[in-house]
Amino acid sequence: MPAHMIDSLFFRDLFGSAAMRTIFDDMTLLQKWLDVEAAIARGQARAGFIPQAAAAEITRRARAETMNIDAIKAGIDKTVHPLVALIWQLSQHCAGDAGRYVHWGATTQDVMDTAIILQLRDAYSLVTDTLDMLIATLRRLAAAHQHTPIAARTHGQQALPTTFGFKVAVWLAEVYRHQERFVQLRPRLLVGEYAGAVGTLAGLNEGDAVDSLMIQRFVMEELGLGVPPIAWHTSRDHIVEFAHTFNMLVALMGRIAHEIIDLQKREFGEVEEPFEMGKVGSSTMPQKRNPMICESILTLGRLCREKASTALDTLLYNEHERDWSSFQMEWVYLAELFVMGQRAVEMMIGVLDGLIVYPDKMRQNLDLTQGLLLAERVMFALGQHIGRQDAHDVVYECAMHAFNNGTLFLDGLADHARVQPHVSRAALVALLDPVQYTGLAAVFVQRVLDRENP
C-alpha cells in the first residue's frame, strides 16, 4: 500500500498531478534507463565502434515491459547498486553476441543522470504547457476586472483604491517572468551525460579522443540532448536551476491562494473560490463555505518550499568526482517537488477560471473607512495651497481624530481652519470618491496584457 500522500489511494489527486506522477513513476524511469543504454549502443554503431546489428538488437530489447521487475529489485537489494541488475538482464535478453556491447564505456551515473534529464524534459514540457493555460486564465481575469475598483491593502490595512484587475496583472507579470526563466534555462537543462567512470571517457577508446568525442555527440543526438562540454557528475546546478524556477512558480500559486483565502473571509467577502452544491465546508457546521481548494494549494506550496533547501544541498555537498549521497537526494526531491508542485498549478488554474468575484462587496469595502482611504488624495490637493508637509500634518490630524472618535473624516476636513480657505466641502466630497482615484491601474493592466510571450 502507498505510504506517501502523492501515491495515496485517497489523497493522491489532492497532493499530486496524475500526469506528472506518470513521468516520475518506476516504469517510466526504467524505460528512461533503457532508452539511454540503447542510445549509447546506437551512437557507438554510428561511429563504427560496435556492429550495427548489435545496436539494433540492444534497442529492440530495451523495453521496460519485457524486463523482470522482481529480478531487478532482487538484484538491487543484493548488490546495493541501482543499475547492475538491469545491465545483466538487458545483456542476457539480447540475441547472439549483442549483449556484450551493452553499457560499453559508460558509468552507471552516466545512465542515471541522463535518464533524469529525460524525465525532466518531459516534466518541462508539461510545466510549460500548463504555464500557457495559467497565463491565458490570468489574462482573462485581469481583462475582465481591469476597471473593477477594490481597496488596496498594505500591512494588512486599507491603503488606497486600485482595481482587482491590477492585482491579477501583478500575478500575471510574475508568471511571465517565470516563463522567460523557463525558456532561458531549457538549453542549460537538457544536456545529457556520457563521460565514463570519472568523466574522462578513458574507457571508451583510449588514445583516440576524436572518435570518443564523436561517439559522445552521436549518443546525445540519438537522445535529442545537448552535448556536455565536460562531465557534470558533481555539478547539479542546471537541475537545481530548473527545480528552483519551478519552486518560485509554485510559491506564487501559494501566495495567490493565500490572497484568495484572505479576500474570501466574510469580513472582506470580495472573492470566493469556485463553489457548487455538494462541496462541504464542515462536517458539523453546514453553513461553512471554506476555501479548501486554496488551502490545499497553500499546503502544496509550503511542502514544496523545503525542496529548495534540499536542491541547494546537492550543490553544497558533492565531493570529488562522484558523491552518491548527494545524487540520490534527487531521486526523492525531484519527484516530490514536481508531482506536488504541478498539482498546485493545475488547481490554481481551476480556481482562477471559476473564481467568484463580488464587485459590489469590493465597492462597499471602499467606503468602509468613510473616506479615510482617500487621505492621500486630499493631502495632495491641499498641498497645492499650503505645501505637501503642512498638508500631511493637517490631514493626519483630521484622520486620527475621525479614527479615534468615530466622526466623519469629511466633517473634520471641512471644518478645519487650514482647509476651509482652499478646498470647499463640495470639492472634498469629490476628492473622497474612491472610484475616481485608481491612478493608472487600468493602464498598467493593459501594459501587462499587451505583452508578447517569449
| Each residue's pLDDT tens digit, 419-451 | 999 999 999 999 999 999 999 999 999 999 998
Local confidence band at 317 (pLDDT 50, 70, 90 cut-offs): confident
Amino acid type, 237: D
Residue 79 has pLDDT above 60, yes or no: yes
Beta bridge partners of 154: 157
155 is catalytic: yes
Q: What is the rounded CA–CA span in Å between residue 190 and residue 339?
A: 20
Amino acid type, 80: V
C-alpha cell at 4: 506517501
pLDDT of residue 3: 78
SS3 category, 357:
strand
Local confidence band at 318 (pLDDT 50, 70, 90 cut-offs): confident
pLDDT of residue 454: 52
Residue 205 has pLDDT above 70, yes or no: no
CATH superfamily for 115-193+233-367+439-454 is Fumarase/aspartase (Central domain) (1.20.200.10)
282 is catalytic: yes
What is the pTM assigned to this prediction? 0.93
pLDDT of residue 324: 84
Of 125, 282, 325, 424, which residue is the catalytic one?
282
pLDDT of residue 443: 97
Q: Specify burial of residue 70 (Cβ count, 10 A radius: 0-12, 13-18, 19+).
A: exposed
Give me the architecture of the 372-431 domain, per CATH: Orthogonal Bundle (1.10)
Give the mean model confidence (pLDDT) for residues 61-90.
95
Q: What is the rounded CA–CA span in Å between residue 308 and residue 254?
A: 15
C-alpha cell at 454: 517569449
The residues, ordered by sequence, that sit 6+ positions from 228 with a Cβ below 8 Å of its Cβ are 191, 192, 193, 195
Q: What is the rounded CA–CA span in Å between residue 422 and residue 385?
A: 7
Counting Cα atoms < 13 Å in the Cβ hemisphere of 348 gives 36
pLDDT of residue 202: 87
Query: Rounded to an integer, what is the distance from CA 104 to the centroid of its chain?
Result: 38
Local confidence band at 203 (pLDDT 50, 70, 90 cut-offs): confident
Residue 281 has pLDDT above 70, yes or no: no
Q: What is the largest CA-CA distance in the chain?
A: 104
Residue 453 has pLDDT above 70, yes or no: no
Give the mean model confidence (pLDDT) for residues 82-104.
95
Give me the architecture of the 24-106+195-231 domain, per CATH: Orthogonal Bundle (1.10)
Of 155, 283, 309, 320, which residue is the catalytic one?
155
Q: What is the rounded CA–CA span in Å between residue 17 and residue 10?
A: 14
pLDDT tens per residue across span 174-187: 999 999 999 999 99
Query: Rounded to an integer, what is the distance from CA 143 to the centroid of its chain?
Result: 23
Beta carbons within 10 angstroms of residue 298's beta carbon:
20
pLDDT of residue 294: 96
pLDDT tens per residue across span 357-409: 999 999 999 999 999 999 999 999 999 999 999 999 999 999 999 999 999 99
Q: What is the mean pLDDT of the chain?
A: 93
User: What is the residue extent of each domain of the chain?
Assistant: 24-106+195-231, 115-193+233-367+439-454, 372-431
pLDDT of residue 298: 97
pLDDT of residue 282: 58
